[in-house]
Amino acid sequence: MQNSSIAIVESLDQEGRGVAHVEGKVIFIEGALIGEKVVYSSYRKKPTYEFARVERVLKESPNRVKPKCQHFGVCGGCAMQHLEFSAQVAAKQRILEGDLWHLAKVKPESMLPPIYGPAWGYRHKARLRARYVPAKNKVLVGFNEKSSSYVALMQTCEILPPHISALIVPLQELLMQTSIRDRIPQIEVAVGEFTSVLVFRILEALAPEDELLFRAFADQHNVQVWMQTKGPETAVPFHPLDAQELTYALPEFDLRYPFTPTEFTQVNPHINQVLVRRAIGLLDPQPGERIADFFCGLGNFTLPIARKGAKVVGYEGSNALVRRAKANAERNGLVSQTEFHEADLFKVEPDNLQALGHFDKWLIDPPRDGAMELIKALPEEGGPKRIVYVSCNPSTLARDAGVLVQVKGYRMLAAGVVNMFPHTAHVESMAVFER
């Protein structure tokens, strides 16, 4: 550890670290908040920047709070529990505005009110690590330690639903009893409206006595147990075999979505309902319009757009999700309003895009890499009159917004943050563009 120094924190970065400038260098300080005067010690030094940790806070931010979770600071699942909840949202909004301006020289004409919901117990999808530690004669189950590949020693988790948090210790005890305790690296959690699923990644076949243990666990804790031997597509129900399917709902649009535990769905169903409502409000789909939903997944936005009477074509890179989206359209009586196609949206040429036909509007919900190829392929004339862009990475949103505004002739009407992941530094956002 290096010698201690003093700094005044000016802002937060995208990892939730305090940012300060000392003698011409940028210092990223874990555990420091805006406006605080802190004593820090650096653990990694480069010519122009350093990574550091807080040793002592000399002047506290009025927004500093006591973290609710006993594992905060060790577990890498959360980065901002020491920052008051509404101040977290404000910090994320500053990151969004900063990225739009510094990376793309774009300012929205107005800022949307931030979307936020429950602060705790919100995470209905999670991937927990499991590791047998011979030195402790114990199996650890939880998230990784901060900046480490080690599994944090956890008993509870405040961002998981309470009934799942309560399973962390029983899961450790269960895996410890199995014959393959060192061959189960991961447990995927999926919570639906009426049931919860635990998917165990197993690198060796279960012994008959192991099977008995997993069945008893599922029955005792009222969860479904699935087993996964290789990739996500190999996940299959183990016990009980006649269990209720996983679903989530969008009640405002009278929609219900079945899904499997390894398929992508939003982790926070409360926020997802508000997110979809806002996206549909900004898109304003009308009967008779033809609308594209790019990166459509299992139809999270496609089906609500169709409910408004528009014809919607969903494009998605995963064949399994395309099949799921078609099944969900059928389940909700929207087959005549929807089409779904498999497409690699990271390899789009202007000719390919033109061949899809004219769309009145677009909705884009890409992964972290953004939608640059799609946006570069937009024609200079005759493109959609409105684009709603849902983003999980403000820097790629900013990059793509720069092209839309400065090259493709769009105005950025509005943008705002969506606090999908409270207490983490993850910034979800939404923007609307008009030609």
Residue 272 assigned to a binding site: no
Read off the DSSP letter of residue 136.
T
Q: Which residues contact 429 (CB under 8 A, 6 or more apart)?
A: 96, 390, 391, 394, 397, 415, 416, 417, 418
Token readout for 32 is 């420091």
- 247 contacts 194 by C-beta, under 8 angstroms: yes
Q: Provide the Cα torsion 165, 169, 172, 178; round to 10°.
A: -110
Q: How far apart are CA 118 and CA 102, in angstroms?
A: 31
- Read off the amino acid at residue 210: D
Name the residue with tokens 């800022």. 111
CA 95 to chain centre: 17
Would the annotation count 300 as a binding residue?
Answer: yes
Catalytic site positions: 392
Tell me the two tokens of residue 232: 């996500």
Q: Distances from the Cα of 189 to the Cαs of 162, 164, 325, 326, 374, in angstroms?
A: 13, 8, 21, 25, 33
Cα gap 129→76, rounded to integer Å: 12
Query: Is 344 labelled a binding residue?
Result: yes
8 Å CB contact between 431 and 389: yes
* Three-state SS at 44: strand
Residue 75 is labelled as binding a ligand: yes
Q: Is 365 annotated as a binding residue?
A: yes
158 annotated ligand binder: no
Was 137 annotated as part of a binding site?
no
Which residues make up each annotated binding site for S-adenosyl-L-methionine? 266, 295, 300, 316, 344, 365
Binding-site residues, please? 69, 75, 78, 157, 266, 295, 300, 316, 344, 365
Binding residues for [4Fe-4S] cluster, by number, are: 69, 75, 78, 157
